[in-house]
Amino acid sequence: MVQQMTAVERALAAVRGLEVDHTSSANGLVMTTVEMMNAVGATYPEAHHNPKMMADMAAAPYEMCGVDGTTLPFDISLEAEVLGAELDWRKIDRPPIKVHTVTDPDDFTIPENIEELGRIPVVLEAIDILKNKYGDDLAILPTTVCPFTIAGHMASVDELFMWILADPDKVHTLVDKITDFVIDYQKLLKSYGADILFAIDPTSSGDLLSGDMYAEFVLPSIKRMRKETGAPTILHICGNTKPMLEHIAFSGVEGFSFDKAVPVWHAKQKLGSVSAYGNLDVIELFPNGTPEDVYNATAEIIRQGINIAGSACDVPETTPLENICAFVKACEETPVPSKNDAAAYGKQLAAEAADVE
């Protein structure tokens, strides 16, 4: 029997596929609700710019529900803003890109001294606050955006996909330059106390790319990012990622986060040694389900062999605290199956799915 672990020990063991005392709830996607924000006095847009408020908001799921991991920042536009994109701050919680600034990748340059630019100092200070306050009791999984998605932010997704079809060298040039920046940023996060990097790449979804396109335009940057950063990494992609699983298995990342479009048992069969993170529904389950619904759904993915239980995407701000507490309770109480038992259950579910088809 595995001895009791700290949150950081549990998260690191889980992402590496090792034994744990119970399933980790180290959530790398935003799990802060309106109730939590009110409790700690956090508001947007200040929580994007004030390191103390950012840290307090990030710690709220742990303080109020016992979630043993957290992420920050709370939007996916920070990197693009640092690189020169203009954000639309009328949407104060998740500011989207307002102006795409790259028209020719050959003319695009990465700024120097990124530790001092944009909101990067805010995130670094917030991590420092969390690490000093909680130590190993709270795993820190800061969100970083992957190079391909940032490329879409800088040039626009439409332009990026036009280049894929008409001038692929432009895509390679832009992604390569951005990869250098992402590596430098991730190294900073690691040096300030990040335990696991949570790298999100929504634009590389199977809803947009084929498996072959992923292998050509995305995978090399993920491999280089992981190798040169030298930090445990969970990769997150939204939507249907079935075409990507065989490539992600050889990407070098320790974990893969996926949503409800991919069953846990299917991901486990395809990912090889890469750990599975996810994939609890955020459309109906978390905001509208009962605590019993959330508990049962969490227990089910644990039986299927999930390594770190978490949400499929950001948890809606209207989610009741009781549902997040039920998620944590299921992680703590549901027995962790052996790899053989989880694999056997996965084969059973695969057979049942084949019969339905």
Amino acid in position 342: A
Tell me whether residue 2 is in a domain. Answer: no
DSSP per position, 123-163: HHHHHHHHHHHHGGGSEE--EEE-HHHHHHHHH-HHHHHHH
Number of domains in the chain: 1
Distances (CA, A) of 92 to 14, 39, 53, 152, 318: 34, 19, 15, 21, 16
Structural domain harbouring 136:
7-356
Distance CA 79, CA 180 (A): 12
Question: Is residue 155 a contact partner of residue 147, using CB atoms and an 8 Å limit?
Answer: no
Q: Which residue has the tokens 């939204």?
A: 238
Q: What is the CATH number of the domain that holds 278?
A: 3.20.20.210
Tell me if 274 is assigned to some domain.
yes
Q: Is residue 1 part of a domain?
A: no
Q: Within a domain: residue 35?
A: yes
What percent of the chain lies above the pLDDT cut of 70? 99
Spatial distance between the Cα atoms of 91 and 97, rounded to a whole number of angstroms? 10
Tell me the C-alpha distance between 185 and 300, whole Å. 36
The type of residue at 330 is: A
Question: Which among 108, 57, 101, 113 is positioned nearest to 77, based on CA atoms?
Answer: 101
Tens digit of each residue's pLDDT (9 = 90 or more) over 282-327: 999 999 999 999 999 999 999 999 999 999 999 999 999 999 999 9
Per-residue pLDDT of the chain (357 residues; tens, 9 = 90+): 689 999 999 999 999 999 999 999 998 999 999 999 999 999 999 999 999 999 999 999 999 999 999 999 999 999 999 999 999 999 999 999 999 999 999 999 999 999 999 999 999 999 999 999 999 999 999 999 999 999 999 999 999 999 999 999 999 999 999 999 999 999 999 999 999 999 999 999 988 999 999 999 999 999 999 999 999 999 999 999 999 999 999 999 999 999 999 999 999 999 999 999 999 999 999 999 999 999 999 999 999 999 999 999 999 999 999 999 999 999 999 999 999 999 999 999 999 888 766
Q: What is the pLDDT of residue 152?
A: 97
Q: Would 71 be classed as within a structural domain?
A: yes
Which tens digit of pLDDT belongs to each residue from 139-156? 999 999 999 999 999 999
Q: What does the alpha-carbon distance between residue 219 and residue 227 come to, in Å, rounded to a whole number?
A: 12
pLDDT at residue 355, rounded to an integer = 75
